[in-house]
Amino acid sequence: MAIKAGERMPAGTLKRMTKEGPRDLSTDELFKGKRVVLFSVPGAFTPTCDAKHLPGFVQLADQIRAKGVDTIACMAVNDVFVMNAWGKASGVGDRILMLADGNGEYARALGLELDAKGHGMGTRGQRFALIVRDGAATHVNVEAPGQFKVSAAEYVLGQL
């Protein structure tokens, strides 16, 4: 069952790239005591994700942070090296935290996994955006198949 607004975020571990190499990041570290925008894409470097979804958050990062958001994080069922390379190629700098859910465990824990086997991509995460305050989801925006509206940076900014 997919997470709903008002529910606690499930516990889990994601990976991020640091200067020292790949490191685990617990969801407790990510969410506790913070206001976080977590958005998920089906895959790094895929068409809508690369042309619209991530760039929108990069462009609006300062405006989103000005609304009291501590962290903007992008999650995908890709490995930490791919997420790091995508972040560099997209010029995210320190505006967006690029998080790898390599085996799709966190997408599954959220109830937001996506069967993309028909496209040769295995199991991925759905396209979504969550606003989280101190470990509880306040807004859950999950896209309908083939859509890109409610998880877009502009839409999320309007909810803050």
Residue 27: inside a domain, yes or no? yes
Model-wide pTM > 0.85: yes
Handedness of CA 53, 57, 59, 63 (dihedral sign): positive
* pLDDT reported for residue 1: 83
State the catalytic residues.
Answer: 49
Residue 30 inside a domain? The answer is yes
Give the tens place of pLDDT for each residue, 96-146: 999 999 999 999 999 998 766 677 665 778 899 999 999 999 999 999 988
pLDDT mean over 32-43: 95
Please give the structure tokens belonging to residue 40: 């998920």
In a domain, 46, yes or no: yes
How many other CB atoms sit within 10 Å of the CB of residue 126?
21
In a domain, 6, yes or no: no
What pLDDT was estimated at residue 88? Answer: 96
pLDDT tens profile 51-106: 789 999 999 999 999 999 999 999 999 999 999 999 999 999 999 999 999 999 99
CATH number reported for the structural domain that contains residue 62 in this entry: 3.40.30.10
Q: Is residue 4 part of a domain?
A: no
**CA gap 64, 71 in Å, rounded:** 9
Residue at 3 is within a domain: no
Residues contacting 42, CB < 8 A, separation 6+: 49, 76, 77, 114, 116, 121, 124, 125, 126, 127
**Structural domain boundaries, residue 150:** 13-159
In a domain, 22, yes or no: yes
Split into its structural domains, the chain has a count of: 1
